[in-house]
Amino acid sequence: MSLLRRYVFHDIGLKLFSLVMAACLWAVVTQVHTEDVSWKSSIELHSLPQSLVISSVAPAEAKLWLSGPSRVLDHLGSNEVHIALDLSAAQPGEHTYSLSSGNVHVPEGAHVKQIEPAQVRIALDMRETKQIEVRPRVVGRLASGFTITNVVADPPQVRVAGPAKRVDLVDAAVTDPVDATGLLSQRTFTTNAYVSDPLVQVVHPQPVRVTVFVGKSSRRRD
């Protein structure tokens, strides 16, 4: 017991104080330790006027070099780093925008050291809409002696929207294929219509009912 008092409890207050100070010092050192990390982030385009649409963005993402406390950078989440461009004052045409730390949103304590590339090229076009016909796509083989006499789409037209130059080149929307294999009379299929150009979209997409009419072929065999 005397040994315990001599080596453990002797100057216990000073020992506890030293332990607390050591813990505080470790916390401070950990707090201020900084490191650098690289990070890839997509470039988000905000506040685009409704009259405009984006024709192309190059590049679509940028690489960041971030600096900050390890306690922050070691636990970065994919939703915590964003590159954002304000396009509220954009005009039609091709434009080059510079990227700086002011375009990057990072957690408190982190800093942007470098962005690569430092510029992004964006092509903007006037938004255009128009009505185009729906062209059903029918596949499959009918029974011998039968043929397709008519194909009707409901609705017969859809409205599409996109960059004016791209919309002008589109004359029809095509349905997903409907299989008429073995059909002996009319049948209605429910499917969807789409435009092959990814920048031209169907406005308010809805199912398309495709009715395939089949009858006996009038062609005679020799």
Check if the beta carbon of residue 136 is closer than 8 Å to that of residue 156: no
pLDDT in tens, 8-31: 555 566 656 666 666 666 555 555
26 found inside a domain: no
Number of structural domains the chain divides into = 2
Average pLDDT, integer, range 85-101: 95
What integer pLDDT is reported at residue 4 of this predicted model?
A: 47
Average pLDDT, integer, range 42-46: 94
| CATH number for 73 | 2.170.120.30
Domain finish residue from 126, 149, 170: 126
1 has a pLDDT exceeding 90? no
What integer pLDDT is reported at residue 15 of this predicted model?
A: 59
Q: Is residue 86 domain-shared with residue 167, that is, in the same domain?
A: no
Cα separation, 138 vs 171, whole angstroms:
19
185 has a pLDDT exceeding 60? yes
Confidence of residue 86 (pLDDT cuts 50, 70, 90): very high
Q: What are the distances in angstroms from CA 86 to CA 44, 98, 103, 181?
A: 9, 11, 9, 53
Residue whose pair of structure tokens reads 């990072």 in the numeric block: 106
CA atoms 148, 154, 157, 162: torsion sign: negative
CB atoms within 10 A of CB 19: 10
Minimal CA–CA distance to 68: which of 37, 45, 26, 39? 37
57 found inside a domain: yes
Cα separation, 164 vs 170, whole angstroms:
10
Residue whose pair of structure tokens reads 């299989």 in the numeric block: 179
Confidence of residue 146 (pLDDT cuts 50, 70, 90): very high
- Domain ranges, residue 72: 32-126
CA–chain centroid gap for 171, Å, is 27
